[in-house]
Chains A and B, each alone.
Chain A
Amino acid sequence: MSCFSSSWDGTLSQNDFSVAAHVFTERWERNNSSSPSWFWVNSPKGTPFLASSQHVEGYLSLESMCVLVSAEDSNEESCTVEEEAGFSEIEGAADSATLVQSNRHEAHYYDFHIVYSASYRVPVLYFRAYCSVMSMSCVNILIFAECIDGRPLLLNEIEKDLPACSSKVLLETKWTFITQEEHPFLNRPWYKLHPCGTSEWMKLLCLGDEVAAKNGLAIELYLVSWFSVVGQVVGLKTPLEMVKKSV
C-alpha cells in the first residue's frame, strides 16, 4: 500500500479506493454504533462482462439515515399535506385518524453513496432524500421501519437540512457545488457533490498534517480523511477516533 509523499497529487486509484473503502467501513462501524452502517455494493449493472473486468467495481452505501424535522417548524404547508395523502395511500385509509394528530413530525431519510470517479480519481458523494410524515406516537416504531416510500425531497428542502455553511455555498454556486446527476451505477437522478476540487484539498489536508507527512500516512485512510470533510457538508460528523492513525 502506497504512502503519501510530497509529490502525491491527492488522488487514488480504483483499487486503492476499494481498499480504503474497506477500512472506512470497519472504522465507521466501530465508532458509530448508533448510525446505520456503510456497506460495499458490487456493480449492479445488468451486463455481466462489465462486472468481470479487472477492477473491483462498486460503491459504498449508507441508507436510511433519518433526520427528524418537526412539522410545526416547516413553512412548507403544501409539502405536509401532499405527503399525508401519499402516506395514507400507501398505508390504506385505516389509520387516517392517527395521521392527523397535531404532534406531527416529518422524517427526512437520506441515502448516501460513495462512488469512485475514474475521471477525477477521487471518491464522489452521491445522495438522495425522501420524506415521510408520521404522528409522534408512531415515531418510535417507524423510525427503524423502512419508510422508503416517501416523496423525494427537492433541493430547496434538502438545503434546510444542511449545515448553515453548506446552504450558503449552495446558494452562491448553484451549478458547481451540488447538482442532480445520473448515478453512475443506478442510472437514476441523484444529488452529487462536485469533485473537481477534491484532489487539491485532499493534498493540503494530508500533506499539511506534519505528523502524517513525516510518518507517511497510508492511503488506506484516504476515505476516512476525505469523509471527515465531505461528511460535514451534509451534516455527518466523523468521530475523532476514526481519523487516528491506528485504532
Chain B
Amino acid sequence: MMEAQKYVWEGAIPLQIHLHESEITSLPPPSPALILAPRIGYLPLLLPLIKPYFSSTLPPGQDTIWFDYKGLPLKWYIPTGVLFDLLCAQPERPWNLTVHFRGYPSNLLIPCEGEESVKWSFINSLKEADYIINGNCKNVMHMSQSDQVELWHSVMDANLEKYMRASSKLKLGTVTTDEADMVGQVKAGKIPVRLYVWSVNEDFEDLEDAPEVDNWDQISYINRPLEIHKEGKHFTLHDALKNLLPEFFGGKSLINDEPCIEEGEDVQKVSSEDAGSSTGAEEGKEIFNQPVESCCNDAEIKLVRIQGIEPKMEIPFSWVVNSLKNPEHFLHICVCVKVPNVNAA
C-alpha cells in the first residue's frame, strides 16, 4: 500500500459548522459543531454527525441538508477535500461552514436525497472513469450488489484496506508498490481527470491576499480525459498540465488566436537561437525554465493544488495519479489562473 494514498485516505478537514441564523428557533443559539470531515468524503454524508447538534432548535419541516461558505452554496457532489482546496486559497482551520436544513437552492444545486444520491453520483463517476480507462463500463455495471455496497461503505468509512479489497475486482488500474512507478513510466492511454480552473482578474503575491470565490461562474469545470500517446516517456505533472491547459505553456493563444500564436513562435525561435544548441529545440516547445509560469498576455497559473498539497511539477504523473486520485478513480486538480481583464484589453 502506498504511503501517500494512506495519507489521502486519512486526511480530514476540521470543520466548524454553524447553523444558519434563519433556522435557529431557540435561545441561547446552539454552539457550532466541530467535526472532522474526510477529504475523500462528501458533505451530505455528515448529516448523522451534525444533526444532533441542531435538531432541537430547527423550525418544523422536512430536512434537506446543504452548506454554504461565506454565502456560496457548496456543491455536494464535489469531494469535501476538493471544495476546501478550491475555495480556501489560504487554508482556514477550522473551516467555517454554514449548514442549512431548509430552503434548498434547487436552482443552483442538483437535488440531494441523502446518502442514496451521493452514492449514485459516486457510482456514476466511477462508471465514467471505467469508460475512460477501458472503453466501456462493464466492470462497474457488472459489479454484484454486495460488491457495490462494500465499495461504497469503504468510501463512506474512509477505510482504505476495505476499499483495496472491494475495488481490486474493478480492473481500473491497481496501485502498485513497485518502485519503478517513481520512474514515471506511463502506459499510453487515458486518465480520468477533473480540472477546476478558478480564474482571477487581479494579481496577488500572497495566498492571504487572494480574492474570494463568491460565484461558481468564476470556476470552470473541465472534465476531459487526459490522453497519453507516448508509451514509456518520462511524463510529469508538468506535461499533464501542459496537455490540459496548453494556453498557459506557450505556443498557444489566449485571447486573440492568431497574433498570439505567432508571437509564441517568434519567442521560441529566438530562444533556441540564443541557446546556440539543440537542447532547447529537442524537447520541442519548452520556452520557460520554470514549470508553472505564464504565457503571453500576462496570463499565468498561480496555484496548482491536489489533495491539499502543491506538488512539484517534475513529479511523475503516474505517481500523482496513483497516490492522489479519489476513490472514484478521478484525479481532481484545482488550478488558480490569473487572466487579464478582457474588457480592459
Q: How far is the CB of A119 from chain B (nearest CB, A)?
A: 5
At the interface, yes or no: A187 with Cβ under 8 Å from chain B?
A: yes
At the interface, yes or no: A194 with Cβ under 8 Å from chain B?
A: yes
Give bound CA distance, A184 to B192, whole Å: 16
CB neighbours (8 Å) of B222 from chain A are 50
Asked whether, in the complex, the Cβ of B223 is within 8 Å of the Cβ of A53, the reply is: no
Instruction: Sort chain A's interface into a size bin.
Output: 20 to 34
- Contact flag A119-B225 (CB < 8 Å), given A52-B253, A189-B109, A194-B124: yes
- Contact flag A119-B220 (CB < 8 Å), given A48-B254, A52-B254: no
At the interface, yes or no: B307 with Cβ under 8 Å from chain A?
A: no
At the interface, yes or no: A168 with Cβ under 8 Å from chain B?
A: no
CB neighbours (8 Å) of A176 from chain B are 120, 124
Interface string of B108-145 (1 = CB under 8 A from A): 11110000100010011001100110011100010000
Give bound CA distance, A181 to B128, whole Å: 14
CB neighbours (8 Å) of A49 from chain B are 199, 245, 247-248, 254-255, 299, 337, 339
CB neighbours (8 Å) of A180 from chain B are 110-111
- Contact flag A120-B75 (CB < 8 Å), given A45-B220, A48-B342: no
Give bound CA distance, A51 to B197, whole Å: 13
Q: In the complex, which residue of chain B has the Cβ closest to the Cβ of A174?
A: B120
Q: How far is the CB of A239 from chain B (nearest CB, A)?
A: 32
Q: How far is the CB of B114 from chain A (nearest CB, A)?
A: 13
Give bound CA distance, A196 to B120, whole Å: 14
Give bound CA distance, A188 to B225, whole Å: 22
Q: How far is the CB of B224 from chain A (nearest CB, A)?
A: 5
Q: How far is the CB of A19 from chain B (nearest CB, A)?
A: 19
Contacts A49-B199, A49-B248, A187-B217 supplied; 10 other A-B pairs, CB < 8 Å: A49-B247, A50-B197, A53-B247, A53-B252, A119-B128, A179-B124, A182-B75, A187-B221, A196-B127, A200-B136
Q: Which 9 A-B pairs have the closest CB atoms?
A: A175-B120, A189-B110, A49-B247, A180-B110, A118-B224, A196-B137, A47-B199, A119-B128, A48-B255
- Chain B interface residues toward A at CB < 8 A: 75, 77, 106-111, 116, 120, 123-124, 127-128, 131-132, 135-137, 141, 192, 197, 199, 216-218, 220-225, 245-248, 252-255, 257, 299, 337, 339, 342
